[in-house]
Structure 1
Amino acid sequence: MLKDLIVNIAFITVFTFFFSHLFIKNRLVLDWKQKIVLGIVQGVFGTVLIYYGMRYSSTIIIDLRYIPVSVAASFGGFGAAGIAGAIMIVCRLCILPWSEASWSALVMLVLYVCGSVVIIRWIKYYWYRWIGFMVWLVAIMMSVGFFVLNMPLHILGIICAFNCLGGLIAAYLLSYLIRSEQLEQQIRSMQKGLQRLLRSQPGFTATVVRTDPGTYLYTLAEGQLLSEKGWKPEDFEGKTLDEITVLSITEQEYVRACFDRVFQGEMVTYEPGIKESGILITMQPVYEKGEVGEIIISGMDLTDRKQKEEADEANKAKSRFLARMSHEIRTPINAIIGLNYLLQQTTLHETQQDYVSKSIMSAKNLLHIVNDILDFSKIEAEKVELEKIDFDLYQVINEISNIISLKAFEKNLKLRCHIHHAVPNRLRGDPFRLNQILLNFTNNAVKFTENGEVSISVGLESIGEHGVRLRFSVRDTGIGMTEAQQSNLLQEFTQADMSTTRKYGGTGLGLVISKNLIELMGGELHIESEIGRGSCFTFTAEFDGSGKTSSGKEKESPRQNLRVLLLCDDDEMKLVLNNQLEKFASAVVIADSQNADHEGYDLVIIDWKLKTANVIQLADRMRRASLSSKRPIILISAYYDRQLQHPEYLTAFDKVLQYPLSQSSLYRELNALLLPESKGGEQEYKQADNFDLLQRAVVLLVEDNEINQLVASEVLKDAGMIVEVADNGEEAVKLASLKRYDAILMDLQMPVMDGVEATKRIRRMDHASHTPIIAMTADAMKGVHEQVIEAGMDAYITKPFDRIQLFGVLQRLIQKAI
């Protein structure tokens, strides 16, 4: 029986891996031809499972036919599931003689197909859906087996257990394949984008490796400057320096001398003056494992000395930017490689291991391209085309509020939204880019504000027959900026605080991108700020359309002749809500909070910020005095405040809504209130071999990124080490002062205190003066190695790191320190 179980699991694994291309890429098969193919394949698969069923006794054979039906239903719907079930029924009649049990099996299969279709329609979350499949299968088996076939419960339990085990195995394999496909698609998309970036640059970029002493091979050559000079990428790529026919022998010898210098660690800049046009050539070394592995060559066409000086300054500025940003860009790639490595350490099928290895390889290929960009001193922005689609402005603002509100809550900030009543809610333009701009400004506002509030306001600048012009403002009560900081704020790669210990991270590109998008929308950006008193970012944008508040037929009221009492002191909110409610054919009465007669209404909406009444007490009086205890009372607020989450608000009102709401969102909320009837085990990691000295070594990991902490900790624990974690340099100094560690792994760029300063302070401690300290950073730019050695560190490892290299460095330094 165990042998039969292994055979069935092997069949499930093989079929899942080799036929997953039918449905994995799309997650849902829509074409009827694909549904037929999917149904046929799963039907054949189910027939195989029936034929190789597990023999429990001479009369009882357990098969896993329901798993292919689950797969077909999950990815192809009723059509695919029905085809799979029909094929299995026909094949079973051909394989086994017909009996009374055959009727029961037929009924169970039909019931399972129908139930599976219902499950996939109502349950969208992947694992909940598979749990639903298994629960439905157990219910059918237990009911038919016990009441119809009179099978003992312990046998039914074994049958259900086997089917659930097979179903969970299939679900896990499919989940892994889906995630792998999504990751590979993302990596392929990023690779194509980076290649387009290189090809569209006005200069050119090339990479060179050394195959033998004095022999240099071009591995990449892209850029518009090549075609301007009459060259092609094929003239360089895959050829050695001696094979480059566009260069004379004298020029080849000069370039070879430059390559020799660069591979010694020197950055070389020169002007060859090819074809009567000055070209500024920059050759920069790229370090791999502490040695120069390749050369990045960048070229820029200079027509006069002024252009050359500007290019020199631009290269210096972008080199500084690359030095700061290499850590930020490499971090997600480090996470992809690290997490896939951790997955590799688990028990996987050979084919699964192959997929994981290919994912790691793809991520490393992406890392190689990113390194080319990072080490290249010229970055060009790609062209952006705006969409022209209909969208709901209130929905965009609501989404921004929902995203930012959590961060605001964490810092105990108030978040307020204000929309002028004359602003149309239906617009035509690019909601994604508008969301991007607002999200950038509001994220910055929350990031630079410790107390007070952040407000988003939208006003009407002008309206005409063919379009509208709106004014958006994001105001905060944060740290503010000086005039000097404001003047530099919209320069590329610039932030107010550029030090490695800066409290507020970021690339310095967000505002520049936002400014360009605003200009594409026909608007302008204006910044007002005062140090210590906050900032206000105001911009205008134009949208197509007549500015009508809606298009098409409005939704009907959730209830006929709905009467709504609106208690609101905010004039703009009052007009907006009144306009939205009247579109539902509702009778809306706006009243004063003190003199409101609340009887005879189907719904009461109360603004949180009433000037003359306590909203909780007001709601309580209404409930006690009301003739109908079922009348809903809604609290609506333009503020996202932590106080609204207190139980007294949640119990005093039937619903707490955040303003603004889109027309459709308001309809759903009212409909839900007025028509309620419509509504694994621990894994063991193998210890690394050949690093006995690392067993039980106590290591302090200093890293501010949570994903990097997870990856590095698991890798170190894999070798048997005991790991303690510090989130920044200051914590590392405190922990190092309390005990002696066998080694310290130190990130360089961290908030509060960077790795260089932390190392200097740790070295002043007597018990830690000889403790091995290893720099772990994603910054691969020239000069970092010298910087960390000068600070007192013993070694330097670039992220993403190779675990064998890391273990080797740790063992060597720990042994040396003993």
Structure 2
Amino acid sequence: MMNENVMRLSLVGEISGVGMWDYEPLSNTLVWDDAMFTMFGRSPAPAVSLFDIWKTSLLPEDLPGAEAALRDALSGARPLDTTYRIRRKDGEIRVILTRGRLHVDETGTPLRLIGVSRDITAQIQSEHALRDNERFLQILANVIPGMVGYWTYEQQCAFTNNEYMSWLGKRPEEILGLHMRDLLGGDLFQANEPFILRALKGEAQHFERSLKTAGGAQSHTLTHYIPDIDGAQVRGFYELVSDVTELKQTQFQLEELNTVLQQRTEEAESANAAKSRFLANMSHEIRTPMNAILGLLQLLKRTELSPRQQDYLEKAQLASRSLLNILNDILDFSKIEAGRMELETTSFRPDELMRTLALFLSPVVEGINVKLLFDIDADLPPVLQGDALRLQQVLLNLAGNAVKFTPQGQVVVSLRAVAITSGRVDVEFSVTDTGIGIPQDKLESIFEGFVQAESSTTRRYGGSGLGLAISRRLVQLMGGELEVESTPGRGSRFHFTVAFSPGSDSQTMDLHQRPSCESDVLGRRCLQGMRLLVVEDNSINRQVAQELLSQEGAHVVSVSNGPRAIEMVAATHPLFDAVLMDIHMPVMDGYTVTRQIRELPGMLELPIIAMTANALPDDRQKCIAEGMNDYVAKPIEMETLAAVLMTHCRGAANAGSALSQEYTDEPGIDLHKALTRLNNNRTLYARLAREFTMEQAGVVERVRRQVLQGLFNTGADELHTLKGVSATLGATTLSRCAADTESVLRANPEPDSCTALLHDLERQLFDTCASLLRVADELDLPDNPAENGVGPEAPMDRGEFAALLDDLELLLRSGNMRAVQKYDDIQQMCEKKLLQQLIPMNEAMRRLDFPAAAAQCRTMRERLLQ
């Protein structure tokens, strides 16, 4: 039975890789089972002592320890439990774990030591490999610039790197086993807990956190929690905390820089928008008085002038147009800079382009020793498609400069076909002169804005220095490049090549396609019979338009604001052949007026022409989009305006003429000078004088209130208007008084110091208004207003006339000064036959006796309807 048990035990040992042995110390006899022989790489040999085999198999350095463990076991000090290395017979080194128990007799004498041995070489190798891996990972973790750790599902630390020492002031071994709350502290743990819980649910977490280091420094960190998932179970999570303080500071700096950049961008955009607004306002503010100046010069030109006066007039016109050209250059340059310059494509004839150029330049070369020559390639197609007006602008600038800088010699404008295909024509344009030339170091700078070849050029030759800059940009928009070759003292050659598409004669745009007033050489006025409504808030420009149009044969009615224009059109339909519409008006802008007129029955076809100082991009397109038919920019050229009107409308009413009478001067009024400005139109002066008394009567009281409120500039603006309008009417004393008071207000004085000035101004205004009314009474024609040439010949029935009288009576009885304008409008609108009914009212209206005028109005209405 014992032998069977031994056999079973031996079999179990063999299966498990464990060898059994039995050692009797008294006889020094060692017995091995088969597994032991296999383990030591030996074969059973009865003649050989197994104890000696055991000892000699141990590596020399491990033998002392093994023998000491054996002695301790035999002495009963402790059980045998030792590990040692052996060298097998085949030379292989193995690691053996040996354990045994001592059996003694009744006296305690050792009888035998029985034990087992197991080859643990593979286990030791695995442990070494694991330790190597752990050491490698630890080294790797320690060199990572951040905290690296592992937290169990119970939120206890199982691994950290040395970086924890820098951040938290604890060594890794001090952290192992700690709960995360104990390590981070309550506040930080509470902040991180939502991320921890999500990580323990298997969701990776990434977040930023501000941490304070053990040294007290505040740092920005980027934290990652990476779940450790084994199958479906989360065992814990890895932690990586990176110091991103420098990156964050860089980010903050970049954000600050971006903020500053955004501010700079917004400031630049704001500045650009302000510049655009300034240019728009400047254009409007300059063109408005320029329109008056050029218009009055046109009116003056049509009067009898002495040779000296004619010379003065021509020089004034030349100076005015030079100023206008500079303004146009600035606006064009602004459009190009803002990227808002757009080209149009139309068909045009190159030979017609050259004829137009010659027409413009002929007066320039007249009287100087310069020949202007044109050379057109015979192979050039007769019709091209492109922006003829902008091309003309470039050539006019180049040729004009060439003439300007050529004291004597010639200027040649050349057009040459460089390449011609079925759908494309490359044309080289060149302007060659024999003038002063340009130094080599200035050839590029001349194309910059506001730059000329030498600083003295502006003084010697004039100009804004924008022409070449604008020309180069326009050529670039056309797809070419403006280039120059020049030799000082011998001349210059400017040239560029642009591609065009061939066009057809049927599509050709004639640069002078509009009908011309100049062509009417038989003395017939070109607007004869047209009935026009002028809507203009500026009284001088309103006067200029009315006078110029009237002199061309048109019958003109003018109003000062949009609502009045709508009322006039609605009440007199179909009286007017066209409406000339200002855009910027204080009560209602021209766009709104146009839209409301278009909504009136039968007004969709009424020609409405924009007549405005707006000259920035898209102005014409906006006018057309708002329902207008055409656009004429101020200053108004009468020929251009007449051509536009003849293009869009025809009329059939006649204008009258003014009579004359003697007059006497009033104190403070230079009537002779004022009438000279108005081409001696006394009826017009009388009307303007009465309008002045109505519009300016309360100006001093308004200024007084503004001064008390501290609105000195607002008050000064009111006085500025008073100064200008009174000067126009020849009220020189009032104009000077208004100018003096304006200067005081511009200095932001104490309100009390203005009391006396405003009192004197008010007294002067009262005296001037009285004088103007007396002058107006004297200048007005004494008899039938129908003989004054007012009133259209279009029929108006008695019912319509009675309705107008009703409106007038309401205004008169309420004391509304609009009654004066209403009465004037009725005179302008009504036919001569009905105007006979107004004769009894003239004297009352001249005296501004509204009650008497209202009574006359009621009497006339009742008589009219009988």
**TM-score normalised by structure 1 residue count:** 0.26
TM superposition score normalised by structure 2: 0.25
Q: Which has the larger radius of gyration?
A: 2
- Structure with higher RCO (Cα < 8 A, 6+ apart): 1
